[in-house]
């Protein structure tokens, strides 16, 4: 029995030593390089030493904040409309016509939300510009970053919106963020 215990102890000690060696080797090759004082210290990590998932500072612009605010306000309006329609649908005192109309409006709202998202993705892919799309009562409003809008970009955006269907050219408005 003591031979069996000794074998287990030797195997455990070997695994602990192997783990310790692996930790030391990892530390040795990823150790930050110390620079002498008086020199400027760079806080950026060389590309070959970056790890997937490492946090990086990304400078946000005022435009990004404004687009985020627009999206937040649009989502809040969608949520409020959805809540109101769901109240009508769930209210037992609502007439059948009111429930049918609310159900139809809820389906249209859902469709508009999907189209807005799809159009924003397509416009970003086609033009490289951040945008916000608002669809309301058959009208489409597209807000793009300042300095992006040219005749060619405008035509590309109109083409993308028209390909989504249900929209006529006179109901499409495209403008730049004014800031």
What is the total residue count of the chain? 179
Q: What's 85's domain CATH number?
A: 1.10.287.4300
Do 125 and 141 form a contact (C-beta atoms < 8 A)? no
Angstrom CA distances, 106 to 29, 34, 38, 171, stand at 58, 61, 65, 22
pLDDT at 21: 80
- Residue 109 in this model has a pLDDT that exceeds 50: yes
pLDDT at 59: 42
Q: Would you say residue 1 lies in a domain?
A: no
Q: Would you say residue 57 lies in a domain?
A: no
Position with higher pLDDT, 6 vs 101: 101
**How much is the average pLDDT of 19-31?**
75
Q: Would you say residue 17 lies in a domain?
A: no
pLDDT at 41: 46
Helices (H), 31-136: 62-90, 96-127
**How much is the average pLDDT of 96-112?**
89
25 CB burial (10 A radius; 0-12, 13-18, 19+): exposed
Report how many helices (DSSP H) and strands (DSSP E) the chain contains, helices first: 4, 3
Q: Would you say residue 31 lies in a domain?
A: no
- For the chain, state the CA radius of gyration: 29
119 Cβ neighbours under 8 A, 6+ residues apart: 133, 140, 142, 160, 161, 164
Exposure b/e, 42-79, CB count within 10 A at least 16 = b: eeeeeeeeeeeeeeeeeeeeebeebbeebeeebeeeee
**How much is the average pLDDT of 119-123?**
90
Of 177, 175, 121, which is closest to residue 153 (Cα–Cα)?
A: 175
Cα separation, 29 vs 67, whole angstroms: 43
The count of domains in the chain is 1
And the tokens for 95?
Answer: 């007439």
Give the residue numbers spanning the domain of 85.
62-176
């Amino acid at each position: 029995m003591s031979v069996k215990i000794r074998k287990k102890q030797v195997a455990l000690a070997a695994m602990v030593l192997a783990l310790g060696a692996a930790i030391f080797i990892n530390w040795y090759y990823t150790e930050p390089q110390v620079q002498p004082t008086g020199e400027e210290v760079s806080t950026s990590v060389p590309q070959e030493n970056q790890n997937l998932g490492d946090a990086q500072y990304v400078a946000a612009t005022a435009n990004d904040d404004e687009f985020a605010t627009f999206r937040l306000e649009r989502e809040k309006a969608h949520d409020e409309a959805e809540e109101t329609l769901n109240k009508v649908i769930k209210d037992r005192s609502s007439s059948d016509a009111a429930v049918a109309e609310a159900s139809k409006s809820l389906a249209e709202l859902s469709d508009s939300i999907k189209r807005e998202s799809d159009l924003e993705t397509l416009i970003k892919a086609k033009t490289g510009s951040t945008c916000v799309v608002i669809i309301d009562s058959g009208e489409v409003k597209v807000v793009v970053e300042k300095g992006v809008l040219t005749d060619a970009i405008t035509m590309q955006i109109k083409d993308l919106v028209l390909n989504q269907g249900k929209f006529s050219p006179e109901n499409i408005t495209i403008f730049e963020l004014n800031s």
